[in-house]
Amino acid sequence: MAELHQIAMDLFQAAVGRADPARALRRALADDPLPKMDGGRVFVVAIGKAAAPMMREALALIPDVHQALVVTNPENLCEIEGARVLAGSHPVPDEASELAGRAVLEMLAETREGDRVIALISGGGSALMVAPAPGLTLADKAKVNELLLASGLEINDMNLVRQQLSATKGGGLLRHAAPAEVFGFLLSDVIGDDLRAIASGPTVSPLGTRADAKAMLVRAGIWDVVPESVQAHLSSVDVAEAALFADNRLIGSNGQSLRAMLDAVPVPFDARIVSEALVGDVKDAAEEVFRAVEGATGPVALIFGGETTVQLNGDGRGGRNQELALRVAVGAEDRLAPGWVFLSGGTDGRDGPTDSAGGLVDSDTIARITQAGGDFAALLENNDSYAALKLANDLLLTGGTGTNVADVQVFLRGAL
């Protein structure tokens, strides 16, 4: 099984490597260079979990940058010569996220006609940079974010709501940069690569309206528990704004990383990408994995990508990748023969509010949990996948990767 574990790790690293932010930005600028400027100043802002390497590459490739600002997560915080670097909080924004949002808006307030703003956007930016809409507080936004994360809503639905509570999301950065021209380079952590949803779309039009956001919260069953100030804001009439434009370019995605995994599968595995949209509740996602496995024969490498959700029933620690891995391990006990491994990991190196990227389980995982004194069923019921996988020594611990293109999964089975 050690060989299968190593192959799974190699494939995960292939996915992360394809999404390397610096190489992705370098390719994009080489393929489609920025038009020459006729005077004016250049401002560069990088936001998200991949912000630091994107900024380093931008400063190396773009001459005469007037001002540069990075907003990233604490795990990827570092010094960058020529740039101011701030860390927000993820997945729940805090005062540091608000400070970062204020810093971005203050920088953009200095732009004028003839200037250029280069926006380097990657996943995680929605929480790392926050600026509450008028009438709202950071506490209001944090409360809504916590409710959204526990609701089971998919990422696009959550972002629709987040955009309507923010001065930066849903085109907010674009509005504050006007009248400067804006070029966006986006590394997508969103399945389907809707640019409006990446980091909640600071350089593109919003996913919907205030009324749409209200309806989403009602359907999710959490409208009655969001703060009254949020209810008042989303119940008010939408304000019509002049259309603004940015030259947005997608430079990396989950689909590209899945194809890199496929290319890295060694002989003699029968390899294929099963799904580029493994979404929805982790219970359903685990069943999708089993359906693919049950229809496959011989040595197989089945690859998936997406971003699942977890319905919280307990107060344990974990994340969607850890819980998916644990559910596959539990379900496989009476459904699959021994000799398999399954990896589910976040390409950013962090799954939920933990230090783990996900889980790497095998046909002995449940036995190891039990031998260590754990009750895997009770741990799963309490959403305590982190504790369960830690007992089995099956946590996927990679540290921050400096990129983020959602989640990847691979099921490997050797010769029967």
For the stretch 214-226, pLDDT in tens is 999 999 999 999 9
Instruction: Using the Cα atoms of residue 79, residue 198, residue 18 and residue 265 in order, give the sign of their dihedral.
Output: positive
The answer to whether position 13 is within a domain reads no
pTM of the model: 0.79
* Burial of residue 339 (number of CB atoms within 10 Å: 0-12, 13-18, 19+): middle
Same domain for 112 and 185, yes or no, is yes
- Can you list the positions of beta strands (E) in 204-299? 247-252, 270-281
Give Cα separations from 64 to 105, 179, 208, 251 (angstroms): 21, 20, 37, 23
The pLDDT, as a whole number, for residue 156 is 82
Cis peptide before 91 (omega within 30 of 0): yes
Domain boundary among the residues 252, 275, 309 is at 252
Token pair listed for 295: 């229809």
Helix axes 2-18, 254-264, angle to 10 degrees: 140
When comparing pLDDT for 358 and 123, which is higher?
A: 358
Report the amino acid identity of residue 22.
A
Cis peptide before 179 (omega within 30 of 0): yes
Token pair listed for 25: 């930005």
Q: What is the pLDDT of residues 310-324, one digit of tens each?
A: 988 999 999 999 999
Same domain for 231 and 260, yes or no, is no
As for how many domains the chain has, the answer is 2
Q: Are 164 and 170 in contact (CB under 8 A)?
A: yes
SS3 of residue 219 by DSSP? helix
State the CB neighbour count (10 A cutoff) for residue 258: 27
Mean confidence (pLDDT) of the chain:
93
CATH number for the domain spanning 62: value is 3.40.50.10180
The answer to whether position 188 is within a domain reads yes
pLDDT band, very low/low/confident/very high, at 325 (cuts 50, 70, 90): very high
Same domain for 223 and 125, yes or no, is yes
Strand order in the sheet with 65-72: 84-87, 65-72, 42-47, 116-122, 181-187, 247-252
Domain boundary among the residues 211, 233, 252 is at 252
* Burial of residue 127 (number of CB atoms within 10 Å: 0-12, 13-18, 19+): buried
Same domain for 210 and 348, yes or no, is no
Same domain for 26 and 96, yes or no, is yes
Domain boundary among the residues 252, 275, 298 is at 252
Q: What is the pLDDT of residues 207-257, one digit of tens each?
A: 899 999 999 999 999 999 999 999 999 999 887 666 788 999 999 999 999
Q: Is 192 left (phi over 0), alpha (psi -120 to 50) or beta?
A: left
| Nearest 10 degrees: Cα torsion 135, 141, 142, 144 | 120
pLDDT at 90 over 90: no
Write the DSSP assignment of 64-97 as a string of letters.
Answer: SEEEEEEEE-GGG----TTSEEEE--SSS--HHH
Token pair listed for 244: 């603004």
- Per-residue pLDDT, averaged over 349-365, amounts to 96
The answer to whether position 350 is within a domain reads yes
Q: Which residues pair with 362 in a beta bridge?
A: 341
Q: Which residues pair with 271 in a beta bridge?
A: 301
Beta 358-362 vs 340-346: how paired, if at all? antiparallel
Alpha carbon distance 207, 172 (integer Å): 13
At which residue do the structure tokens 């950013």 appear? Answer: 348
Q: Can you give the residue range of the structural domain that contains 291?
A: 255-413
Same domain for 323 and 354, yes or no, is yes
Give Cα separations from 9 to 42, 282, 318 (angstroms): 40, 21, 20
Same domain for 170 and 51, yes or no, is yes
Alpha carbon distance 67, 116 (integer Å): 11
pLDDT at 416 over 60: no
The answer to whether position 12 is within a domain reads no
State the CB neighbour count (10 A cutoff) for residue 64: 7
Alpha carbon distance 251, 232 (integer Å): 38
pLDDT at 297 over 90: no
